[in-house]
Amino acid sequence: MLFGFLLTLFIINCFFLILFIMLQQGKGGLGALGGSSQMLFGGSGGADFMQKATWVMGSIFLFGSLSLAILRTKQYQTGSLLRQPVSQQMPQLPQPELPAAPTSDATHNN
């Protein structure tokens, strides 16, 4: 339950991180939206906001991925995930009865 909630927040963070990176203007002046991306949040204040937001979301991405990996490993080691013996995971199907092998009697030979 907790893992699923944290994973959902992590995925949302990833989408916003991608969006913020794509909206930023590059050093050469060729941003994803040309020169209009800087004007989206005002003059130079927009670039500072975008940079700070990207750094925060990048930090959340790094620590979030590490935390999710540790949480998933602990769940796997405690056996709360699919760590059951194979006989408990899949029901055993009844074995079909094979027909008896024909016996060769000496009396049936003509």
Residues 31 and 40 sit within 8 Å (Cβ to Cβ): no
State the residue for tokens 């909206």.
Answer: 23
pLDDT band at residue 8 using 50, 70 and 90 as cut-offs: very high
Mean pLDDT, to the nearest integer, of 29-46? 52
What are the pLDDT digits (tens) for 25-35?
776 555 555 55
- Whether residue 92 is predicted with pLDDT greater than 80 in this model: the reply is no
Q: Above pLDDT 90, what percent of the chain?
A: 31
The first and second tokens of residue 1, run together, are 């339950």
